[in-house]
Amino acid sequence: MHEMGIAQELVRIALESIPEDIDNPKVEKLNLKIGKLAAVVEHSLTFCFEIITKDTPLEGAVLDITEVPVGIRCKGCNRQWEVDQPAFQCPNCQEAEVEMISGREIEIISIELAE
């Protein structure tokens, strides 16, 4: 289950991002973007996150996950589009030389702290 490793990295980044001058910080929410092809099971990630945040400033924090679709760019004509099936051919010029520009990311967009 690679979700545990992802959760550990999210916690590490979040803890390092909390300003040191805040006394007893409490994180309420982590806003995330996770690509459709990142192979992350949301329920598993949330479960792992809950386990490893116990007794930390992130305990009880919510993971707000936005799924990022798979974005493709044609190297021939530069057209960009989203796909939801494994057909990677430009609908504009029919070129098959394309690159994936989104869909694999796992990013913390913002961290919300309690007042």
Q: State residue 8's pLDDT score.
A: 97
Range in 31-40, 65-74, 84-93, 100-109 with the lowest mean pLDDT: 84-93
Q: Is the pLDDT of residue 88 over 80?
A: no
Tell me the percentage of the chain whose pLDDT exceeds 90. Answer: 84
Rounded mean pLDDT, 35-40: 94
Per-residue pLDDT, 76: 93
CATH number of 3-68+103-113: 3.30.2320.50
Dihedral, CA of residue 32, residue 33, residue 39 and residue 43, to nearest 10: 40
pLDDT at 84: 85
Cβ pair 40, 6 in contact under 8 A: yes
**Neighbouring residues of 73: CB distance < 8 A, sequence distance ≥ 6:** 79, 80, 98, 99, 101
pTM of the shown model: 0.84
Q: Please give the pLDDT value at position 30.
A: 97
